[in-house]
Chains A and B, each alone.
Chain A
Amino acid sequence: ETGVTQTPRHLVMGMTNKKSLKCEQHLGHNAMYWYKQSAKKPLELMFVYSLEERVENNSVPSRFSPECPNSSHLFLHLHTLQPEDSALYLCASSQNERTGMVYGYTFGSGTRLTVV
């Protein structure tokens, strides 16, 4: 396996369900991200983990709960979602240097989530 792998590719869940999205990166990067992609909207940054520590949470509702057990794995736990949460959820990873040097992100293929 190479790059960034997301599972599942598709998920349909009811508003009362609890599910989790999984992301795994095989690139040796030290930062991982969750983005939400909705139709006709820019990519929305949800969570950032750098060196397994959550660095940023862009005011995401508490029904989304991230978990980063190590630098290669990232989860997004979902519970009591709303239909408007239906979107493509993208995971990405990058190598962030302490010097501030930025490198491009590598994205996974995403999980298409439908909340019914």
Chain B
Amino acid sequence: GENVEQHPSTLSVQEGDSAVIKCTYSDSASNYFPWYKQELGKGPQLIIDIRSNVGEKKDQRIAVTLNKTAKHFSLHITETQPEDSAVYFCAASGGEGFQKLVFGTGTRLLVSP
């Protein structure tokens, strides 16, 4: 089955800096890669996603890149703000059988003013 690894587990940046979170997946048939943000006391919220027919997608300050050959994808946050502080999860889905998401272990991002 699919296995997703996520790094780093924690990331501290200064406000205004960029942050990058990386994930690798094992199943080459996976074709859908969402990213979730989880704030304290809340459930994960979808912030951006990418499908395997696209190499990069951007939405304002966040972007996701996908390298199918290397089987890794990354989340990029530019001009970070304190409200970006949260836990971020990557996930992968696709391949044969019933479609379900397999999640990474999460990255705790702390943006200091």
Please list the residues of chain A having a beta carbon within 8 angstroms of any beta carbon in chain B: 4, 6, 33, 40-43, 45, 48, 50, 55-56, 90, 92, 96, 100-110
Contacts and interface: CB of A to CB of B under 8 A. Distances in A.
A92 B103 CA distance: 13
Contacts, number: 55
Provide the main secondary structure of the chain B interface.
Answer: strand
Contact of A110 (B34, B43, B89, B99): B43
A101 B34 CA distance: 13
Contact of A109 (B41, B49, B105): B41
A103 B101 CA distance: 9
Interface of B: 4, 31-32, 34, 36, 41-46, 49, 89, 93-94, 98-106
Nearest to B35: A104
A11 B106 CA distance: 25
Contacts of A90: 43-44
Contacts of A107: 36, 43-45
B98 A48 contact: yes
